[in-house]
């Protein structure tokens, strides 16, 4: 009679283990199918250089001249701008990351003009322009985290 009391907890733990293993056998293939296997990598020779920047505080204008010194064409770039003391910079080319024609290593430098930056240029002083190239693969735009270039610019 004493030994029959332990049967119920053993059955309960056994059922718990069987249910856990069954759920993991169902969930694992589902996740493996629906999660991306690998993220596209940017090539190591993906190099953009900021050649010149100018900022006009009065008119709230910014111009950035960029050239491609790498070995690959650059078809998209994120451009960010903020005060020099800020760590997080705001993207100023939202929706316009793609170039009509990619910047090739043999092409001339390309200049970007941004006007009416009232919400970004709040006072005269030092600011930072940051560019980050991106690659377009599998219908998505992937930024290159190791290819970020930044440069100080004085808005006067």
Per-residue pLDDT of the chain (156 residues), as tens digits, is: 555 666 688 888 999 999 999 999 999 999 888 887 777 788 888 889 999 999 999 899 999 999 998 888 888 999 999 999 989 999 999 888 888 888 888 888 888 898 888 888 888 899 999 999 998 887 888 898 888 999 999 998
pTM of the model: 0.72
Give me the DSSP letters along the chain: -GGGGGHHHHHHHHHHHHHHHHHHHHHHHHHHHHS-S-PPPPPTT--EEEEEEEEETTTTEEEEEEEE-SSS-EEEEEEEEEETT-SS-EES-TT--EEEEEE-TTSPPEEEEE---TTT--SSEEEEEEEEEEEEETTEEEE-GGG-EEEEEEE-
The pLDDT assigned to 149 comes to 93
The pLDDT assigned to 7 comes to 66
């Amino acid at each position: 009679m004493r030994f029959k009391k332990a049967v119920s907890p053993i059955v309960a733990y056994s059922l718990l283990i069987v249910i856990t293993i069954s759920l993991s056998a169902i969930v694992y293939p589902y996740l493996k199918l629906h999660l991306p296997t690998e993220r596209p990598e940017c090539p190591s020779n993906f190099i953009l250089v900021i050649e010149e920047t100018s900022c006009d505080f009065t008119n709230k204008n910014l111009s950035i001249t960029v050239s491609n010194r790498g070995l690959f064409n650059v078809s998209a770039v994120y451009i960010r701008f903020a005060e020099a003391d800020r760590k997080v910079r705001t993207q100023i080319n939202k929706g316009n990351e793609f170039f009509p024609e990619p910047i090739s290593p043999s092409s001339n430098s390309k200049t970007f003009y941004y006007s009416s930056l009232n919400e970004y240029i709040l006072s005269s002083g030092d600011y930072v322009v940051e560019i980050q190239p991106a690659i377009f693969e599998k219908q998505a735009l992937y930024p290159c985290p190791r290819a970020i270039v930044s440069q100080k610019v004085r808005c006067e």
